[in-house]
């Protein structure tokens, strides 16, 4: 469903039920937008903006990957896809997103997650693999929640009201995510110190 003039926006209750960190819904919502790089600026491409949720046998991230080819983005230009997602990608989705980025150098990806999905073993490895593929992965803060509220929610002019302990949850989850991703950052730092020889290439290999 697109966040446009002819398609409905997300209703307020759906947004709060799925993005509030203190709740644990058994579904995933993903809001997305696309920007085109013009020199040093990023220009919104409003026709490619909307939200979707997971479907039977298709997680929300994979639904997005199925949608992107229909946009027919110019491979001679550079685009940035930003996702605001209620759960961070599972290991399989993270792997497929990483593979997609590897095959589409004209795209970069930013992922802002409300929570960290820890149900499946290997979720840490999946997130590190996605980061190594060039994606920026961050926990949503009040700034991102308010942006989503204004951009993707049918708020009827009602301002965004943060839920209890939003900042506490965001700080706690940000610390957890930093701990997960820090391992690869340390590897990257070591590889830079080693230079471009065979040893450095061996250090980088698991992150490719």
Domain boundaries, the chain: 12-182
User: Distance between CA 90 and CA 170 in Å, rounded?
Assistant: 19
pLDDT cut 70: percent of the chain above it: 84
Note whether 106 and 79 are within 8 A (CB): yes
Token readout for 10 is: 């997300």
**Which pLDDT value is given to residue 148?**
98
**Which pLDDT value is given to residue 195?**
42
Active site residue 61: yes
User: Would you state the CATH architecture of domain 12-182?
Assistant: 3-Layer(aba) Sandwich (3.40)
User: Distance between CA 19 and CA 83 in Å, rounded?
Assistant: 13
Which one of 33, 35, 61, 144 is the catalytic residue? Answer: 61
What's the pLDDT band for 1 if we cut at 50, 70, 90?
Answer: very low
What's the pLDDT band for 57 if we cut at 50, 70, 90?
Answer: confident
Closest CA to 100 of 91, 108, 112: 108
**Which pLDDT value is given to residue 6?**
42
pLDDT reading at 176 higher than 60: yes
User: Distance between CA 190 and CA 87 in Å, rounded?
Assistant: 31
**For residue range 139-156, what is the model confidence (pLDDT) as tens digits?**
999 999 999 999 999 999
Report the range of poorest mean pLDDT among 63-77, 136-150, 185-199: 185-199
Note whether 89 and 129 are within 8 A (CB): no
User: Distance between CA 167 and CA 162 in Å, rounded?
Assistant: 9
pLDDT cut 90: percent of the chain above it: 81
User: Distance between CA 9 and CA 16 in Å, rounded?
Assistant: 14
* Strands laid side by side in the 107-113 sheet: 41-53, 29-38, 79-85, 107-113, 136-139
**Per-residue CA distances from 108 to 44, 102, 144, 173 (Å):** 14, 10, 19, 23
């Amino acid at each position: 469903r697109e966040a446009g003039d002819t398609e409905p926006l997300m209703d307020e209750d759906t947004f709060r039920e799925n993005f509030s960190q203190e709740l644990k819904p058994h579904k995933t919502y993903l809001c997305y937008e696309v920007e085109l790089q013009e020199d040093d600026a990023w220009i919104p491409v409003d026709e490619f903006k909307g939200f979707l949720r997971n479907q039977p046998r298709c997680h929300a991230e994979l639904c997005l990957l199925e949608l992107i080819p229909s946009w027919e983005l110019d491979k001679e230009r550079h685009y940035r896809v930003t996702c605001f997602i209620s759960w961070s990608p599972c290991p399989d989705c993270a792997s497929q997103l990483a593979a997609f980025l590897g095959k589409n150098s004209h795209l970069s990806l930013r992922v802002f997650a409300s929570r960290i999905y820890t149900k499946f073993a290997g979720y840490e490895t999946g997130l590190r693999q996605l980061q190594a593929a060039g994606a920026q992965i961050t926990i949503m803060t009040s700034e991102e929640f308010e942006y989503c509220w204004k951009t993707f929610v049918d708020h009827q002019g009602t301002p965004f009201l943060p839920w209890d302990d939003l900042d506490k949850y965001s700080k706690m989850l940000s610390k957890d995510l930093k701990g997960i991703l820090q391992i690869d950052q340390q590897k990257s730092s070591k590889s830079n110190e080693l230079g471009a020889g065979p040893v450095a290439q061996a250090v980088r290999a698991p992150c490719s």
